[in-house]
Amino acid sequence: MRGPHNLWRLIRTGATFERTGAMKIALEAMETPPRLRLLARVVGWPFKWLGYRGNPAEPPVTRALTALGPAYIKFGQMLSTRPDVVGEELANQLRVLQDKLPPFPTSVAKATVEAELGQPVDALFSEFSEPVAAASIAQVHRARLAGRGEEVAVKVLRPGIERAFQRDIDAFHFAAGLIELLLPGSRRLRPSDVISHFESVVMGELDLRLESSAASEFAANTEKDEGFQVPAPHWDLSSRRVMTLGWAEGIPLGDVAAIRAAGHDCVELSERVLQLFLSHALRDGYFHADMHQGNLKVAPNGDIIAYDFGIMGHIDEYTRRVYAEILIGFIRKDYRRVAEVHFEAGYVPQDRDIDEFARALRAVGEPIFGMDASRISMARLLSYLFEVTERFGMQTRTELILLQRTMVVVEGVARSLNSNMNMWQVARPVVERYIRESVGPKALVRDLVLTARVLGRFGPRLPQIAEAMLINQTERAEPARRRPALETALLITLGAALAGGGFALAMLI
């Protein structure tokens, strides 16, 4: 329930950060202004005793997030990929949130498997290990199929996870409502819509049947991608709370030292992970939206292996073209065109000055070029972007939330492998290829053919539709005007018949 009782949850959140010592560290890492840091400490200190104690053996921020629950852990997972935002030390501390959380007992996992699949674990698997990875929502066991010998990964949801997530999300909804009420200027960012979007994503992640479906679709889309693998799901051994995938053998992408020791090229890997993500988003409109180091491995042959498909992103063809034109505009430093695309797509109100907006975009883009990533403060860049969007009245695009978030995460993963990576240079060939195939003359012909095919389905009905429309008009017209209207109807009917033949021809192209 999204009532005032959630205020207690928010108070305990701040109190937990203060009690664990995470408040000071987090505010400093995020380069929060000194006055805001002081205010947060003064407000939080009296409630310190109300906070969760957490595990004293963990670093402060990790300790606070794990004590608060799964939704907060998800947030920490994203920050773990951004050493440029939170600092290298804090990012390393948060990385344990990806797959090294405390597991629940194997006996509970086996009981869940038996209840979900309707057979004893020993009848399904000849081997079933202790947890090999434990994250915020589920944990994974390494197993071997009985009678077949194939190694698989068995993912099992944490007990009571649905209730825990709903409690956190209700508190987030309450917080979003308070923000909109107390800070009217924040409404353009649509915080309530953002939380609703987050809720829909998380609820989908809590049904492993949907994740199995996502893994299957993603594998089909990417089967021809060189240097990329997706484990295949076992549908007969998957259900709402249990999912079985082929085992992915490799080095976690977060273990850079082990990757180098194995002889893999970290620079090439950093470029490939970014280009793969962009290819999936632009080419397919369907992408892995949780691509942190805990969900990626490097196979012995150098392939990147992706797993954990609980959060997938989808963007339609029109939005992909807008996104690609914005990216290519930045890459080519054509800020005027970037501004025009924003206006054409309705992202910026029409009453704003397009030239002024283009100059603001230049101030965002120019610092990136000619510099290596280690010299760019992404925290400052994001802060300036926020100022620009506020000044020009841009609203949050909920359909792009996952895309934007994942872009931030993937860039962080790539930079962990190669701190000198220039995101724009690496992205350029992928974006230009998509532009050639989806925005140029070739795309125009394809769109015309597609339009013809769709209209062709209505070909047999066009005469009746035209006749019905014109008869309706003539019934309301003066008698002297009925004859020309009926003649027009005959012409339209004839044109529709001819068009139907054209549509049929287009379907054969």
CA separation, residue 112 to residues 216, 243, 432, 472 (Å): 23, 11, 48, 64
DSSP string over 451-467: HHHHHHTTGGGHHHHHH
DSSP H helices in 256-349: 256-261, 266-279, 317-331, 335-344
> CA 73 to CA 97: how far, in whole Å?
7
290: annotated active-site residue: yes
> CA 169 to CA 71: how far, in whole Å?
7
Catalytic residue, from 99, 170, 290, 308: name it: 290
Contact 390, 185 (CB under 8 A): yes
Structure letter (DSSP) for residue 297: E
Helix (H) or strand (E) holding 401: helix 401-417
> CA 257 to CA 255: how far, in whole Å?
6
Structure letter (DSSP) for residue 233: B
Structure letter (DSSP) for residue 100: B
> CA 179 to CA 177: how far, in whole Å?
5
> CA 279 to CA 117: how far, in whole Å?
36
The pair of three-digit structure tokens given for residue 429, joined into one six-digit string: 């060939």
Cβ atoms within 10 Å, residue 112: 20
Characterize the bridge pairing of strands 151-157 and 242-246. antiparallel
* Residue given tokens 């190694």 in the structure block: 151
The pair of three-digit structure tokens given for residue 508, joined into one six-digit string: 């054969």
* Residue given tokens 């107390």 in the structure block: 182
* Exposure b/e, 68-89, CB count within 10 A at least 16 = b: bbbbbbbebbbbbbbbbbbbee
Cβ atoms within 10 Å, residue 372: 11
* Exposure b/e, 5-41, CB count within 10 A at least 16 = b: ebeebeebbbbbbbbbebbebbbebeeeeeeebeebe
Nearest to 161 by CA among 109, 235, 120: 109
**How many residues are recorded in the chain?**
509
Q: How many CA atoms lie within 13 A of 276 on its CB side?
A: 28
Q: Which positions are annotated as active-site residues?
A: 290
